[in-house]
Amino acid sequence: MQTSVPYLTADQEADLRETAKRLVAPGRGILAADEPPETMAQRFAGADIKIENTEEVRRKYRELLFTTEGVQEYISGVIFHHETFQQKSKDGIPFPKLLSDRGIIPGIKTDRGMVPLAGTDGETTTQGLDDLGERCAEYRKGGARFVKWRCALKIGLQTPTYLAMMENANVLARYASISQQNGLVPIVEPEVLYNGDHDLQTCQKVTEQVLAFTYKALSDHHVFLEGTLLKPNMVTSGRSFGARSSPQDTARATVTAFSRTIPPAVPGIVFLSGGQSEAESTLNLNAINTCTAAPKPWALSFSFGRALQASVLKAWQGDDKNIDLAQKQFLVRAKANGLATLGQYDEKEAAAADENSLFVEKNEY
Ligand code: 13P
């Protein structure tokens, strides 16, 4: 029998628990704005979008998002990329401070991206552990209160392999432990990718396996679950599968998978949008919150990147005179998803939301 020595004080635990709870307060969720500069090049060159990708344009774009009036009602936290964490508003206010002054909790992505797992069929692990403790301490000093680390697992004939599930679960658990020791709530993200032609049942089974590996590793590493959040995929059929799973089927499969694998001690689950359209992401989140197929002892909210930003980018086009319009779009998406966390999204409104797929074959964060 192994022994475990407490490594967080009661105060540290209370602080982490409180931050996690605030991030998933009813009606609110997270904006993932942590796209690295190279990924912003992709986003700025999407369908009907042509925006120059320079550091100053990225700064302006983030300022537009962070200063949207009223959005704090629906957005509890924002995930930054390192570049944005260092940037300031045009009035010289550091972005982390600008957000905390508005009641929005600043967070930051701390992983250093994915690398191949040699000898596998294109599977990956995620890097960045070596100096993570020091970086966490710096970010906490700079105002961050939570962090994100993304791992991705792909569904194929022979994947995900035992090795990939083990390795990714373990790296997530090491990250979570180091983050908590530095006073930061870890968002644990084991994303099962949307890529592929698998059906809904396959996605459900793989998601259950990946989550089971993840929570075993978090337990082995003595991670304080009450001070964590999970960022998973919704359970859907693959992008290239003939038929789309309906919001009701998606919700049933997602909630069933979660009830089998996620401990009730976890305060909240914040979904990624993973390439679904804006309309689909919101409808699915709403259906998940109204689903009664299995117990749901956690808050079920969002940490969307693409599904909160696609219409904003389209409206903005990099032009100052479109800022108002773009901010209106952001507020509409934030509010829609806020309502979906309560199961109160009016489905008729989905007709006005963008149904264009936001799928990217090789999506990098
Ligand atoms: P998407 O919502 O665009 O999938 O991204 C969320 C995210 O932060 C992935 O790590």
Domain ranges of the chain: 10-352
The pLDDT tens digits of the residues spanning 267-302 come to: 999 999 999 999 999 999 999 999 999 999 999 999
Regions of the chain short of the pLDDT cut 50: none
Q: Ligand 1: does its nearest atom lie under 6 Å from the Cβ of 32?
A: yes
Place of tokens 């799973």: 245
Question: Both tokens of residue 189?
Answer: 């993200």
Which of 189, 191, 208, 278 is catalytic? The answer is 189
Return the half-sphere exposure (C-beta side, CA atoms, 13 A cut-off) of residue 47. Answer: 11
Residue 197: how many other CB atoms lie within 10 Å = 13
Place of tokens 């693959």: 238
The pLDDT tens digits of the residues spanning 121-153 come to: 999 999 999 999 999 999 999 999 999 999 999
Report how far residue 7's alpha carbon sits from residue 86's, in angstroms, rounded to the nearest whole number: 31
Inter-residue contact 153 to 164 (CB < 8 Å): yes
Query: Is-catalytic flag, 328?
Result: no
Inter-residue contact 95 to 88 (CB < 8 Å): yes
The one-letter code for the residue type at 13 is E
Query: Is-catalytic flag, 83?
Result: no
Report how far residue 293's alpha carbon sits from residue 323's, in angstroms, rounded to the nearest whole number: 42
| Test site for ligand 1: of 230, 272, 356, most ligand atoms within 8 A of the Cβ | 272
Q: What are phi and psi of 21, to 5 degrees?
A: -65, -40
Q: Ligand 1: does its nearest atom lie under 6 Å from the Cβ of 274?
A: yes
Inter-residue contact 107 to 187 (CB < 8 Å): yes
Return the residue whose CA atom lies nearest to atom 8 of ligand 1. Answer: 32
Q: Ligand 1: does its nearest atom lie under 6 Å from the Cβ of 23?
A: no
Question: Both tokens of residue 252?
Answer: 């049933």
Give every CB contact of residue 36 below 8 A, 6+ residues apart in sequence: 81, 83, 113, 364, 365
According to the model, what pLDDT value does residue 288 have? 98
Question: Both tokens of residue 225?
Answer: 């679950």
What number does the ligand 1 atom closest to the CA of 308 have? Answer: 2
Report how far residue 19's alpha carbon sits from residue 268's, in angstroms, rounded to the nearest whole number: 11
Q: What is the CATH number of domain 10-352?
A: 3.20.20.70
